[in-house]
């Protein structure tokens, strides 16, 4: 059990160790309480430092390699990585180097390397900032880069990597669309994808106007699009099969649908409950395996299926280091079974919204292609997808909408997402 961090930098190093040594996702680490000993402001800073270090990790490692004869033990290396990122992003050299040396001195069996840390980081402080900016944009790992190059081509993958290297803006969904202009003006935000508000410098989210009263919630613009494409759904019965953290559940409820939300994790479902309480929206919640849900049928079934989450790397740069692609086949097989089960829960004429936050066609376009072969009564609802709130390049796939991080690049990019809306004739 790691010793609880005493400072934001110590917390950031703990996160880096868990991601890069233990291969754990940062969200899982934070949910386990790793940073609970820190004050809220320090927790936020620790997370930001770790995220940005991971975002530029390839550059950081190339820079450090110029000053290291051999690679130090991983805990020490991660301290150097954090400090090098801070130095290259304008951190005070004296404070950054001293803090790093103290962290190295406190590591188990690493204290004898504090002199090395001091010497290396002083060299980085001297010329690192300029050298950092001259290095190439960090590449995705080969296990992901190669299939994406096959799917989209090398120039598009390079554009995706450029988008991943930029700190993403914050997108929010407004509970009452009639208040969109009001909240855009109040928050100094811009409207993207027909109804999401984008903030380029949000600061502390919970301190912003409208958060406490539940007037809006944080939700990437790509993730908000599937429900928005359904149009008017007031009075419709809707099932959100994999609901947590609840953004789409809240959208369905806010649009007037009679909503049931299911998630296999009671812990994650508690987050949905908290979000519903804050936004004063109503939905019936059940902790249940989506594949075991039955007994009722619905006008709308929304399946944001478990997937590789490769579309979220711009916001979660830990993912390429915590995963290696070995679970892809299992996820793809699960998605197919969940689609089949979701169809069995539809009323005749009902609609299935299938989406994944993945960049891989096997978790999007290919799933729909195969589902259409298995179910003769299933048809793509092209009228829902032919919307003017997305541009033509998002409509390139006949099976649905394909969103990539490099799209809307002039406005801050998007998460990678695939969306299809299908209608079931009951046969």
Q: Which of 88, 242, 307, 357 is catalytic?
A: 357
The angle at the Cα of 253, spanning 251 to 255, to the nearest 5 degrees, equals: 70
Residue 15 sits at φ, ψ, to 5 deg, of -65, -45
One DSSP character per residue, 308-365 reads --GGGTTT-TTHHHH--STTHHHHHHHHHHHHHHHHHTEEEEEEEEEEES-S-GGGTH
CA–CA separation, 203 and 392 (whole Å): 33
Q: Could you tell me the two tokens for 109?
A: 């069996």
Closest by CA to 148, choosing from 138, 161, 135, is: 161
Asked if residue 245 has a cis previous peptide bond (ω within 30° of 0), the answer is yes
C-alpha to C-alpha distance for 377 and 424, rounded to whole angstroms: 6
Identify whether 357 is a catalytic site residue. yes
- Are 250 and 276 in contact by the 8 Å Cβ rule? The answer is yes
Sign of the alpha-carbon dihedral angle for 272, 277, 279, 283: positive
Give the residue numbers annotated as catalytic, written as ranges. Answer: 357
């Amino acid at each position: 059990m790691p010793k609880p961090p005493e400072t934001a930098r110590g917390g950031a190093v703990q996160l880096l160790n868990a991601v890069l040594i233990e291969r754990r996702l940062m969200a899982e680490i934070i949910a386990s309480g790793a940073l609970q000993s820190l004050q809220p402001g320090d927790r936020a800073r620790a997370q930001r430092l770790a995220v940005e270090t991971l975002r530029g990790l390839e550059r950081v490692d190339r820079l450090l390699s110029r000053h290291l004869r051999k690679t130090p033990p991983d805990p020490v290396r991660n301290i150097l990585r954090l400090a090098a990122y801070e130095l290259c992003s304008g951190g005070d050299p004296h404070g950054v180097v001293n803090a790093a040396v103290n962290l190295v001195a406190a590591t188990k069996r690493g204290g004898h390397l504090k002199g090395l840390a001091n010497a290396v980081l002083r060299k980085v402080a001297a010329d690192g900032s300029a050298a950092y900016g001259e290095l190439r944009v960090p590449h995705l790992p080969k296990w992901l880069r190669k299939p994406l190059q096959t799917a989209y081509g090398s120039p598009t993958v390079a554009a995706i990597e450029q988008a991943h290297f930029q700190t993403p803006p914050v997108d929010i969904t407004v509970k009452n669309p009639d208040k969109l202009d009001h909240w855009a003006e109040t928050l100094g935000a811009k409207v993207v994808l027909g109804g999401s508000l984008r903030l380029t410098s949000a600061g502390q989210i919970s301190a912003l106007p409208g958060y406490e009263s539940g007037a809006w919630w944080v939700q990437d613009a790509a993730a908000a699009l599937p429900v928005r494409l359904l149009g008017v759904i007031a009075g419709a019965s809707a099932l959100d099969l994999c609901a947590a953290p609840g953004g789409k559940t809240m959208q369905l409820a806010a649009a007037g649908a009679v909503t049931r939300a299911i998630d296999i994790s009671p812990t994650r479902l508690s987050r949905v409950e908290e979000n519903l309480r804050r936004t004063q929206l109503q939905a019936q919640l059940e902790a249940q395996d989506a594949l075991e849900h039955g007994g009722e049928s619905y006008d709308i079934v929304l399946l944001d299926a478990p997937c590789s989450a490769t579309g979220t790397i711009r916001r979660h740069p830990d993912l390429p280091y915590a995963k290696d692609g070995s679970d892809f086949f299992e996820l793809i097989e699960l998605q197919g079974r969940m689609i089949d089960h979701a169809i069995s829960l539809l009323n005749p004429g009902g609609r299935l919204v299938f989406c994944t936050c993945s960049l891989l066609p096997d978790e999007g376009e290919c799933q729909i292609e195969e589902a259409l072969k298995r179910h003769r009564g299933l048809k793509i609802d092209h009228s829902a997808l032919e919307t003017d709130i997305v541009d033509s390049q998002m409509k390139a796939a006949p099976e649905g909408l394909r969103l990539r991080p490099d799209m809307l690049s002039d406005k801050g990019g998007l998460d990678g997402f695939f969306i299809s809306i299908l209608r079931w004739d009951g046969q």
